[in-house]
Chains A and B, each alone.
Chain A
Amino acid sequence: MKDKSLVQIALYAALVAALGFIPPVPFAFGVPITAQTLGVMLAGVMLGPWRGALSMLLLVFVVSLGAPLLAGGRGGLGVLAGPTVGFFLGWPVAAFFAGLVAQKLQRLPLLAATAIGAFTGGILVLYICGIIGFKLVTGNNWANSTLTMAVFIPGDLIKVAITCLVAQAVYKGLPGAVATRQP
């Protein structure tokens, strides 16, 4: 891997961490939404599947080592023992699929391609990982696990929309920075 890719991978890992410092916004019914998954979707769309996944893998590694970089200052091994472990470990997978889908849809307009990519990675794939993790850790059945997690979906839909807008704006300013859309 080239040094430049390594720097970019580290950058997006840090970006997701920095987004975690934005205080969670209580959304409808008090469900807290954080900006972090926005960064996960961005990493996939901007870096492409492989580097996006590696960048999130790096973040997972740093957080597991003990850096409190998840929203609300969480970090360390407690995250791996907690009910959200599936989402946390699902970040690399989510970034991968967000990047892969956005890359496959290069013929579509950028906004549509990133929307479908971010939705597939950041919601479909991420919730599958999250619900599997929740079920394994808590021993709940599928229906209960899905029901518990469903309250977070509306907030994540908003983040899909923001991801598209950011990707489009960045593409206008720095076309080379969007790896899933190369001329």
Chain B
Amino acid sequence: MISLYLGQQSWLHRRPAGLKLLSLAAISIGLYFVSHPFWMLAALLAVLALYASVGRQALRQLRLLRPLLFLFAIMFLVQWWSVGLAAGLTLVLRMSTLVLLANLITLTTRMDAMMSAITPLLLPLRLVGTDPARIAFAVALVIRFIPVLLAQLHGLKEAWTVRGGGRQVWRLAIPMTIQAIRMSDHVAEALAARGGIQTSPGHATHSSRSHSSAKESHSEG
């Protein structure tokens, strides 16, 4: 399953998602008022202690910071050069703390729990005629499409290597895009054949559903 969530139990796993999100927001805002590198370092150590309290698996996820290291290095150098050493240290320490803390919430909160925690925020979308059920369906589609696309990409890459390969791997983007579009057409046809996306009961716009999907399958057939 593609999610950062750690499938285990810890005291942080058991807290409700809404509470974790609110605390995260509060702490993140609070950290902006810390300007001394020493206190910033203390905050970072506190977050590392939180990781340790969740377990070894969580500590292993500290590697999520690695893709940012290059950018952090540039940020540090620019800040050092223009403001000073202390400002550079504070900046990079604060960024690391913020990112690690936010990641910790993601690591300990199931994706569906996160989704239901923010669903109240999506309700205004009903006013513009978007059913939250369709959004959930789209999210599921994205997650289902990714492994398929990766398998396609893998196949294309192998074929490219067998044909002799070369350095212009980016050329694979062309067949990959064409295959992906073909696939989405097939999925849309299959969906129309099954009566379209199921909307949640009582939704205002669902009366037009059967009509539009019938029209679509007609134009494609």
Q: Give me the interface of A with B, judged by CB distance under 8 Å.
A: 1-4, 6-11, 13-15, 17-19, 21-22, 24, 30-32, 35, 38, 42, 46, 58-59, 61-62, 65-84, 137-141, 143-144, 147-148, 151, 162, 165-166, 169-170, 173-174, 177
Known: A76-B103, A170-B177. 18 other contacts (CB 8 A): A3-B216, A4-B191, A6-B137, A7-B184, A11-B187, A15-B145, A18-B146, A30-B70, A38-B173, A42-B177, A61-B135, A62-B142, A65-B139, A66-B4, A144-B78, A148-B75, A169-B178, A177-B178
Q: Do the beta carbons of A166 and B177 come within 8 Å of each other?
A: yes
List, sorted by A's number, 12 A–B pairs whose CB atoms are closer than 8 Å: A3-B196, A6-B137, A6-B197, A11-B183, A18-B146, A38-B173, A67-B143, A74-B67, A80-B102, A81-B28, A148-B71, A151-B74
Contact of A18 among B3, B21, B149 (CB under 8 A): B149
Kindly name the residue among A42, A66, A151, A174 whose own CB sees the greatest number of chain B CB atoms within 10 A. A66
The smallest C-beta distance from B207 to any residue of chain A, in angstroms, reads: 15
Q: B150 in the interface, Cβ–Cβ < 8 Å?
A: yes
Q: Do the beta carbons of A82 and B174 come within 8 Å of each other?
A: no
**How far apart are the CA atoms of A4 and B150 in the complex, in Å?**
22
Q: Give me the interface of B with A, judged by CB distance under 8 Å.
A: 2-5, 21, 24, 28, 32, 64, 66-68, 70-72, 74-75, 78-79, 82, 91, 95, 98-103, 105-107, 109, 111, 114-115, 130, 134-135, 137-139, 141-143, 145-146, 149-150, 153, 170, 173-174, 176-178, 180-184, 187-188, 191-192, 196-197, 212-213, 216
- B interface, over-half SS: helix
Contact A67-B3, Cβ < 8 Å, known A3-B188, A14-B146, A148-B78? yes
Q: Do the beta carbons of B181 and A166 come within 8 Å of each other?
A: no
- A interface, over-half SS: helix
The smallest C-beta distance from B161 to any residue of chain A, in angstroms, reads: 15
Q: Do the beta carbons of B191 and A3 come within 8 Å of each other?
A: yes
Contact A78-B102, Cβ < 8 Å, known A73-B64, A166-B174? yes
